[in-house]
A and B are shown apart, each in its own frame.
Chain A
Amino acid sequence: MAADTKETITVQLHELTAWELTQKLQQREISAVEAVEACFDRIAAVEDRVKAYLCLTRDQALQQAREVDARRASGEALPATAGVPIAYKDLLCTDGVPTTCASRILANFVPPYDATVVERCSQAGLPMVGKANMDEFAMGSSTENSAFQITANPWDLERVPGGSSGGSAAAVAAGEAFWALGTDTGGSIRQPASLCNLVGMKPTYGRVSRYGVVAYASSLDQVGPLTRDVRDCALLLGLIAGRDQRDSTSAAVPVPDYTEVLGRDVTGLRAGIVRELLYGEGIESDVREAVEAAIKTLDSLGMACEEVSLPHSEYSLPCYYIIAPAECSSNLARYDGVRYGHRTERETTSVYDMFAKTREEGFGDEVKLRIIKGTYVLSAGYYDAYYRKALQVRTLIKRDFEQAFERFDLLICPTSPSVAFRIGEKADDPLAMKLADICTLPINLAGIPAMSVPCGFSGGLPIGMQLMGKPFDEPTLLQVAYAYEQSCDWHRRRPAL
């Protein structure tokens, strides 16, 4: 009987949102230790099929949970969400816990410090479940570029969860964590959120500290939440946002209480529907129809929705694929096999030879290709034609958004042009893979915030709607996303695993 009872409680627990779990923790209906155990029970049941994690930290999570329970029992005032277990993408440095970036070159790397976002979550009492799989160095849109394993989409195990934060998304969707942090350089939080029926946000560039985040493209990278609903997104963003002295690009802009706007009336808010990204080539008809239906719902809630054009959005793809590899080739120059990471065991004749062999062995094909592309566009004779040109086009893309935001409070389009594709389907077609990010790339180039919200299904696979806002106007996105969410139940659906 006892075993049956525990089974019932566990099944209920792992499906809760983080804020629902928070209420149960605060009311002492369950303990933080039980919440952690619910995650690990679920992991025991599904992880061999989902493969979301590269490393599990059960002992550490239980230790953190016991501390939360003891502090709560003693009557200490704790942060509201203390005790809610979290997963971290494996490029967020975790003191004493391996951080591999899903790359052979960092396979044995154990950071000597926490990333600021990890530190803030730990201080808020969130137990760490483990480190989630990803595309190597966050380069990819399917998590197939991991050097270690392929993660499956919990909604269809033969399909990708999206990427590069695919492990984080799959873990939350499968009930193996209550929420997760990912990073987004060109869509790496929003696209997997869309493909896994989650809420995912890329905050404004500078909203969240990048200290301790393994760098890919520094002018585009940003950390953000992957959660089961909008309220969870608001709560987690509130924990990680804010100025950090250790990241000079983190902005000294006050952090509001992001939950305050939830439930606020959206009547009169103006939404621009991005013509090129809803009706453009490559957007699947089911995706378009689901987003159109969501827009009708927003209309019925009193919002004023009308079309807008972002004429330079078609140049986002070539612009991004010059700028991101250029920055990557510079950032990844640090992997030389001297201070940390893999070093070749082959005989070497010079220090150059050691660097070159180490890097050849340590990096995967996609990473090598992006380093070479980036080095090429920055090399003498090509810098002006490619890199400088791309930075000018970036200005034009950014201006499109600025002009649109003179008329609108937020913009709307699909998050991903398609639902989750089959594992291997696009692996040999790099351009097709890159098109997966066509709706999300412009946002990183412009530095603005954007989030993906579940808005329907096609053939049992989730569809996401993307909301884009003015710099540091995450509250309006959350307000509209919440209003929409209250009028539907897409986010309440869970995959049958």
Chain B
Amino acid sequence: MPDVTLDDVRHVCRLARLDLSTSEMERVRGELNRIMAHFHELQALDTEGVPTTSHAIPMSNVYREDIPGVSLPVEKVIQNAPDSVEGFFRTSLFVEE
């Protein structure tokens, strides 16, 4: 695997919605390269034909009766919002005028 570049870090930060300074990105790049070298140990392992495990305890879909329950009142849901108006969350403009 090639080394992680600053452009790679910039790209991943954008995907992760993290606004890091260039010096922070440099730090992250160093850390990523260090840890990725460690991850390469796994490549040596033959896993041809081995199934993946995403959950250790096998479970199939769980269903329940579709009975309407009681929801939290709007004022309780909205109480932690950094900004709200009349029971709605208010955020920055995201549709360009």
Show the binding face of A for B, using Cβ within 8 Å.
108-110, 112-113, 204-206, 219, 245, 248-249, 251, 312, 315, 317-319, 321-322, 329, 333, 336-343, 348, 350-357, 359-360, 363, 368-369, 371-373, 375-377, 379, 385-386, 388-396, 398, 430-431, 445-448, 471
Say yes or no: A206-B80 contact (C-beta < 8 A), given A386-B39, A389-B43: no
Judged by a CB distance under 8 angstroms, whether B23 is at the interface is no
Judged by a CB distance under 8 angstroms, whether B3 is at the interface is no
A–B complex contacts, Cβ < 8 Å, 10 sampled = A113-B72, A204-B57, A318-B41, A350-B92, A351-B94, A354-B92, A355-B17, A360-B19, A372-B28, A389-B43
**Structural contact, A206 and B57, CB atoms closer than 8 A:** yes
Q: Which residue of B lies closest to A445 (CB)?
A: B56
Give A249 to B18 CA distance when docked, in angstroms: 30
**Structural contact, B18 and A338, CB atoms closer than 8 A:** no
Judged by a CB distance under 8 angstroms, whether B85 is at the interface is no
Residues of A within 8 A of B81 (CB): 338-340
Show the binding face of B for A, using Cβ within 8 Å.
1, 4, 8-9, 11-13, 15-20, 24, 28, 31-32, 34-35, 38-39, 41-43, 45, 47, 50-57, 59, 62, 64, 72, 76-77, 79-83, 89, 91-94
Give A354 to B16 CA distance when docked, in angstroms: 13
Say yes or no: A315-B41 contact (C-beta < 8 A), given A245-B64, A343-B83: yes
Say yes or no: A392-B79 contact (C-beta < 8 A), given A351-B93, A385-B43: no
**Structural contact, A110 and B79, CB atoms closer than 8 A:** yes
Residues of B within 8 A of A113 (CB): 72
Say yes or no: A319-B57 contact (C-beta < 8 A), given A359-B18, A375-B12, A375-B15: no
**Structural contact, B42 and A372, CB atoms closer than 8 A:** no
Q: Which residue of B lies closest to A367 (CB)?
A: B18
Residues of B within 8 A of A356 (CB): 13, 17-19
Residues of B within 8 A of A363 (CB): 18
Give A211 to B65 CA distance when docked, in angstroms: 19
